[in-house]
Amino acid sequence: MDELPENMRALVLHEAGKPLSFEKVPRPRVGAGQVLVRVAASPINPSDLAMLRGEYGLGWPYPLIPGLEGSGQVVEAGPGLMGRFLRGKNVALAADKQGLWAEYAVIPASRALPLPPDMPLAAGASSFVNPLTAMALVAEVRRAGQWCAISTAAGGALGGMIRRRARQKGVKIINIVRRQDQVDALRADGARYVLNETDPAFDTDLAAMCKDLRCTMAFDAVGGALTFRMAEALRGQGQILVYGGLSGKAISLHPGTMIFKGLTVRGFWLSKWLAAKSVPQMLLLTREVTKSLQGGFAETQIARVVPLEQGASAPAAYENAMSAGKILLSTGAYKLGLPEFQPGSP
């Protein structure tokens, strides 16, 4: 194995809301129970955009390296059985104290998921945030004894995973999008219940669907006025799980709806949901995600691969075209298994 460098290249955020800078920084050192991963690729997710704005709940100190999930190869392990097992293996990984928009990352061995030998590193890079969120939200519907939910931002990657996961579990999804072309695309994909929130009849149609399907749950990735509109449409004793704020606006609710319909609105954070799982439960979840990354509910559409050194402008590009697919930041260290893409190609 090649000698490890003292320094590494990384995208660094010095202050919330400020531009990213491409820098050379010290390579992190591995400790007991940890592994050092040479990063292959890391996607840009809405949660990463929130971190760039200083609105994500992890509270990492500045300067920080963003990037909450990715893939790579374990090149060094600290003392511990799990680390020794992972050494030399391709893994999906979730960030710990610093992110993955860098050439190397140190994480607890428990945050590394071994990938099957035939799985491309591009697919493995999106193993955590979106697939586990889709599984968790659909599981919440089942746990509540319900069989229908509203899903906002349904035209994006996560919306598609929620829809496919719900189909597996027999849950009906009312998909909310913002454009007619998204309505057409979802219907062509087999979605039965699709509404355009910009349509003049949206509120009436949503209320009618909720009544017909006895829908009492909603997954809210948008916030703002859309939360109000879903609350008005849901059946009595409804629940709204807020897991994002893509609108950038405060949630709007009517007091009477809260009081007389018994509506509950609560936040959903994947990290806390996972923290409540036992080790056997986590092993089952990660095994199911691994199986679903290729051709299953968790398959991710990749719109563009950008070299790390050109990545400072990539978050803005992703924010402007989220429904087109993921942008992957590539370190160039490994082949990603995407022959149709050249790094930086549109």
pLDDT tens per residue, range 239-282: 999 999 999 999 999 999 999 999 999 999 998 898 888 878 88
Q: What is the pLDDT of residue 343?
A: 47
User: Nearest CA to 113 among 290, 329, 270?
Assistant: 290
Please, are residues 37 and 331 in contact by the beta-carbon 8 Å criterion? no
Q: What is the pLDDT of residue 339?
A: 67
Indicate if the alpha-carbon torsion angle 160, 299, 76, 335 is positive or negative: negative
**165 pLDDT higher than 70:** yes
Write down the mean pLDDT value for the chain: 93
Q: What is the pLDDT of residue 346?
A: 36
**27 pLDDT higher than 60:** yes
Residue-by-residue DSSP string for 18-86: SPPEEEEEEPPPP-TTEEEEEEEEEE--HHHHHHHTT-STT-PPSSB---SEEEEEEEEE-SSHHHHHH
Q: How confident is the model at residue 290 (pLDDT cuts 50, 70, 90)?
A: confident
**296 pLDDT higher than 90:** no
pTM for the full model? Answer: 0.87
Q: What is the pLDDT of residue 6?
A: 97
**187 pLDDT higher than 70:** yes
Return the percentage of the chain with pLDDT > 70, whole number: 97
pLDDT digits (tens, 9 = 90+) for 76-110: 999 999 899 999 999 999 999 999 999 999 999 98
249: DSSP letter: S
Q: What is the pLDDT of residue 242?
A: 97
**289 pLDDT higher than 50:** yes
More confident site: 263 or 325: 263
**65 pLDDT higher than 80:** yes
